[in-house]
Amino acid sequence: MSKLSLIAALVASVFTLQAHAADGHATAAEATAMVQKGVAYMKANGKDKTYAEIGNKQGQFTYLDLYLVVYGLDGTVRAHGANEKMVGKNLIDLKDVDGKAFVKERVELAQAKPTFWQDYKFTNPTTKKIEPKSMYCERVDDAVLCGGIYK
Contacts of 137 (CB under 8 A, 6+ apart): 35, 106, 109, 110, 115, 116, 117, 118, 144, 145, 146
Cβ(54)–Cβ(35) under 8 Å? no
CA proximity to 139, closest of 27, 61, 38, 9: 38
CA distance 54 to 67: 8
Q: Give the integer Cα–Cα distance in Å for 4 and 137.
A: 36
Between 28-32, 79-83, 123-127, 128-132, the lowest mean confidence (pLDDT) is in: 123-127
As assigned by CATH, the class of the 26-150 domain is: alpha beta
Q: Which residue has the higher pLDDT, 148 or 126?
A: 148
Mean pLDDT of the region 15-33: 70
Q: Does the predicted TM-score (pTM) go above 0.95?
A: no
Q: Half-sphere exposure of residue 73, counting CA atoms within 13 Å on the CB side? A: 13
Q: What is the pLDDT of residue 5?
A: 39
Question: What is the structure's pLDDT at 125?
Answer: 80
Distance between CA atoms of residues 147 and 149, nearest Å: 7
Residue 24: pLDDT band (50, 70, 90) is confident
Name the residue among 137, 100, 130, 139 with its Cα closest to residue 150.
130
Cβ neighbours for 77, distance < 8 A, ≥ 6 positions apart: 69, 70, 71, 86, 87, 88, 89, 90, 91
